[in-house]
Amino acid sequence: MPSRPSLPLRGRHGRGEDPLERTDAWFLANGLSYFVPEKRSEARAALSPRRTVPRLLLVALVAAAGGAALAWVTGQVSAAPAVVLSLVIAATVVYALTVLHARPIVTWALARTVAGLRSLLPLATRALPLLLVFVTFLFINAEVWQLAAELETGALWLVVLLFAVLAVAFLGVRLPEEVDKVDDEVDDAFLVRACAGTPLEAECARLVADPDADPASYATVTGFERANLVLAMVVIQAAQVLLMAGGVLIFFLLFGALTMGVDVQAAWTGQAVDEITKLPYLVQVSVPLGKVSLFLAAFSLLYLAVSTVTDDTYREQFFGRVTRELERAVGVRAVYLALRAERPASGQE
């Protein structure tokens, strides 16, 4: 089934008559904050060792103290590394959203994901059935129940974090290839198509018509700008995969509650029936069931992240909705840089 046409990038063009200033506002409105030279310079300065090392040490000390305290209170040694890793990840995300100006990127990407929820269902019907058939065999396996039931909360927390970090790392390594493909295809027709409806539409037509100008030569995206595009795609991809993994979690909770009685759960986990913690009025929804469902959902998260990037069918559907935005960002940036090159006094980086 052909992918549904994606929505064009939208946003206010900014005030004033200068097309560069209006394009800066357009960049910010469309999740391209690192395309603005001032924001890019601030982010680069924020990553200097002088600013990051003290914060990293402070976060490490707080995380270590919090992990040790929780491990002592709960009696679970595995809680310490889980808390440390979680706090480090949380601090990194907060620093990126605030100091590194990544908030507009993440906000736009999440809004784009919400706007495309209706088209997520056809994709889920392709990606989930085969996965559920495979994972269901694990779900009805006594060894998996024993493994999950024996995991302490901290250890299960670490396993979920491990799968999530691996999924994001895989996306971060593979998605830059999509940026490289797009900027390799840039020509004059590409630029005219990409700049249509943007603050640089008129300037693009002028530069393309000028035999001495070559805006397509600025198409290669590198550095922070490349990271901007990759981050947006990672957030969109990760959000969609997370939603489908959440569907897997709900499915196994319901499936287990309907088919796995407490006696079966006790036999498979090696626990006594009265030792299994259950929800009031929902006796078959137990802690072991929740652990098994969460473990398999985390595994599904990694599987979906890999398959949606490597499988051609999933890849076409996933990227079909963001290709237009990616092309437009690359095209507008090329014309923007060509226009700045005409103004050497404007303070290029």
79 within 8 A of 153, measured Cβ to Cβ: yes
Q: Does 216 reside within a domain? A: yes
Amino acid symbol at 338: A
Q: Does 169 reside within a domain? A: yes
- In whole angstroms, give the CA distance from residue 65 to residue 68: 5
Residue 125 in 3-state DSSP?
helix
Q: Does 283 reside within a domain? A: yes
Domain count, the chain: 1
228 within 8 A of 105, measured Cβ to Cβ: yes
Nearest 5°: CA angle at 217, between 339 and 332? Answer: 50
From the list 331, 324, 323, the residue with the least C-alpha distance to 201 is: 331
Q: Does 267 reside within a domain? A: yes
Residue ranges for the chain with pLDDT beneath 70 = 1-16, 274-283, 317-321, 344-349
For residue 343, the surrounding DSSP H or E stretch is: none
pLDDT of residue 279: 64
151 within 8 A of 291, measured Cβ to Cβ: yes
pLDDT of residue 258: 86
Q: Does 7 reside within a domain? A: no
Q: Does 133 reside within a domain? A: yes
82: how many CB neighbours lie within 10 A of its CB? 23
Which residue range(s) make up the domain with 89? Answer: 19-340
From the list 348, 39, 18, the residue with the least C-alpha distance to 199 is: 18
- In whole angstroms, give the CA distance from residue 326 to residue 186: 12
pLDDT of residue 183: 83
- In whole angstroms, give the CA distance from residue 19 to residue 29: 15
The residue count for the chain: 349
Instruction: Report the relative pairing of strands 282-286 and 278-279 from DSSP bridges.
Output: antiparallel
For residue 261, with 0-12 CB atoms within 10 Å meaning exposed, 13-18 middle and 19 or more buried, which class applies? middle
Q: Does 349 reside within a domain? A: no
For residue 48, the surrounding DSSP H or E stretch is: none
Q: Strand ranges (DSSP E) for the chain?
A: 278-279, 282-286
Return the exposure string of 122-143: e unless at least 16 CB atoms fall within 10 Å of the residue's CB, then b.
Answer: ebeeebbeebbeebeeebeeee
Q: Does 315 reside within a domain? A: yes
pLDDT of residue 2: 39
